[in-house]
Structure 1
Amino acid sequence: MANITAAMVKDLREKTGAGMMDCKGALNETGGDIEAAVDWLRKKGLSKAAKKSGRVAAEGLVGVAVHGEKGVAVEVNSETDFVARNEEFQALVKTIALVAVEKGETDVEALKNQHYPGGAGTVADAISNAIATIGENMTLRRVSALSVSQGVIGQYVHNSIGDGLGKIGVIVALESTGDKEQLTELGRKISMHVAAAGPLALDAAGIDPAVLEREKNVLREKNAGKPDHVLEKIVESGLKTYFKEVTLLEQPYIHDNGKTVSQAVAEAAKTVGAPVALKGFVRYALGEGIEKQESDFAAEVAAAVSGEA
């Protein structure tokens, strides 16, 4: 039997909102596999917040930069949140984002090899110099870009600590020949929506097939025992509801819950003066997908004192 720790139970409870004993039972049933335990709770109808299952923590900053019809998002990680308040680190992230948007880079290694403005060397050299100066490890983790032939790249940064820097960074691509000022405002509002709602994809076609199959399996197992023809209708209906929750175009627009994002974009043509097409988005939340080891500060101090004695 797997060793189920209090930390594992706590992690699962935060991910799902299920009760402590339910979480412990789920972990026992799944041999300590957190993701399998999330699914187990969902199948039992005990998960209250399945969409939180991807939430993790890490430190550093997300940076966004827009230049003309191009925009980028980058994530640079550090060991502690203190570094995010360091002006040198902030300047580093901002400059890396500017280099990325200027060069149109979407590959981390290629971006590291680009010339770093104002210094002798590359982006990788600038990161190494910052590590040496600040005294903490840093990593350029990821970079994504969007572009349009006509239109704008909207942007929004949540928990902003500087221009284009924060904990969540979003860019959206709006294709249109309409008024740039109106388009920019629309792009900002949709970017705010993306930051708040956290869609998985633009539409159903953009959802990872593995994620879709996993959702189907959850629906089938929750309704096991029903006739096949009934089960398939339940799965079909359940997927429609799922798409409304996780695809940007079908989500209720946070600025007007009476319409979907798709409807809001279509209606924007009246004020923009031309049809508008939402072509894509990038949403970076600091640390998502990174396992971060929790530390017990009191225990560390006690161990240090014990070691000195």
Structure 2
Amino acid sequence: MADSSLEKVKKLREITGVGFKDCKSAIDECGGDIDKSIEFLRKKGISKATKKMERVAADGLVLVEQKDNSLSILEVNCETDFVAKNNDFINFANELSKLNFNNFGQLDKLNNAKMNNNSTVKDSLVSLIAKMGEKITIRRTEYFDGKNFKNFFYIHSPSSKNTGKLAVLLSLEIPDTTTDILNTFGHHLCMHIAAMNPISIDLDDLNNDVLSKEKEIIKEELLNSGKDEKIIEKISKGKVRKFIDENTLLNQTWIMDPDKKVKDIMTEISKEKKLKIQKFIRFKVGEGIN
């Protein structure tokens, strides 16, 4: 290989991060033209990325962005912890998080947003997949507007600022004046949600399908035990109540005081003033991915 061609291959590798063999093929195919070679590899990268998208990506990062009282949250997945700690992946995720906030957590708009490299997010994602050699996905996003409620967030064991594997956003309807007690409670409640993983605020907003399925499982389990029907009915009601208490935020045992429930603490704090949980979201990297 001539020195000039070798230098072009090296330059192409530096620009794209693609392996020597693929870069040499691109340079040869495109007559030494760097720009055409980049486009050639990009097209080839799309082909590689398509195959990689069939694999499971259950590692990655959760990132939170905050401006004033507004918050956004984003989960970006990859296949291994090795890539999750790679600077290229981290930089991509950090830029995505800012774009996600600016696009109000709307995933379709995020995918078409322009990044600093002047390419769209979806095109930049394809290039990163080709470079990293792993499946990478933008899994889910959420945005909490700061106009009407007081918002809080918590990241468990952050790897860097506003970044980790598990994060919670929380929105509270509170009195006009926010006190230190309310701010502390908001932070502690985020920590509680991270640890206890509730699936709804109260029974009223617990998904009927989830509750029906749990009742069915409990009933089947008790029927197989051979117990009397009346005893089964009594035990079943107790187990259903326990499921509700363990999975609805207001009815959960407060992690800071096991003798009280979350709703008891809220009553103590609010007294005559109104305090209400408006909504919450909990993102844990890879949760629910098979």
TM-score of the superposed pair, with normalisation by structure 2:
0.71
* Contact 1:112 1:122 survives alignment (8 Å): yes
Larger radius of gyration: 2
Please name the residue that 2:235 is paired with.
234
* Per-residue deviation, 1:81: 0.5
Secondary structure class of the residue paired with 2:259: strand
* Contact 1:76 1:141 survives alignment (8 Å): yes
Which runs of 5 or more residues in structure 2 are unaligned? 1-55
2:161 maps to amino acid:
D
Please name the residue that 1:283 is paired with.
282
* Contact 1:62 1:285 survives alignment (8 Å): yes
Which runs of 5 or more residues in structure 1 are unaligned? 1-55, 292-309
Provide Cα deviations, 1:95-153, integer angstroms capped at 9, x if missing partner: 222222232124x333212233x331322233234334444331101112333543322
Task: State the alpha-carbon separation in 2 of the partners of residues 181 and 162 from structure 1.
Answer: 26
Task: State the alpha-carbon separation in 1 of the partners of residues 235 and 146 from structure 2.
Answer: 39
Please name the residue that 1:152 is paired with.
150
Q: Structure 1 pair 140/57, CA: closer, same or farther in 2 (3 Å)?
A: closer
Alignment RMSD, CA only?
A: 2.6
* Contact 2:57 2:78 survives alignment (8 Å): no
Please name the residue that 1:206 is paired with.
205
Q: Structure 1 pair 256/91, CA: closer, same or farther in 2 (3 Å)?
A: farther
Provide Cα deviations, 1:9-57, integer angstroms capped at 9, x if missing partner: xxxxxxxxxxxxxxxxxxxxxxxxxxxxxxxxxxxxxxxxxxxxxxx99
Provide Cα deviations, 1:42-87, integer angstroms capped at 9, x if missing partner: xxxxxxxxxxxxxx99211111223333322211111210122123
Equivalenced residues, count: 231
2:124 aligned to which of 123, 126, 137? 126
**Matches for 1:63-74 after TM superposition, within 5 Å:** 63-74=63-74
Please name the residue that 1:191 is paired with.
190
2:285 maps to amino acid:
L
Secondary structure class of the residue paired with 2:158: coil
% same residue: 30
Establish whether residue 109 from structure 1 lines up as the match of residue 108 from structure 2.
yes
Task: State the alpha-carbon separation in 1 of the partners of residues 194 and 97 from structure 2.
Answer: 19
TM-score of the superposed pair, with normalisation by structure 1:
0.67
Establish whether residue 98 from structure 1 lines up as the match of residue 98 from structure 2.
yes
Task: State the alpha-carbon separation in 2 of the partners of residues 184 and 113 from structure 1.
Answer: 36
Provide Cα deviations, 1:185-211, integer angstroms capped at 9, x if missing partner: 322211111111111211123322222
* Contact 2:111 2:122 survives alignment (8 Å): yes
Task: State the alpha-carbon separation in 2 of the partners of residues 207 and 163 from structure 1.
Answer: 33
**Matches for 1:216-295 after TM superposition, within 5 Å:** 216-224=215-223, 226-227=228-229, 231-269=232-270, 274-291=273-290
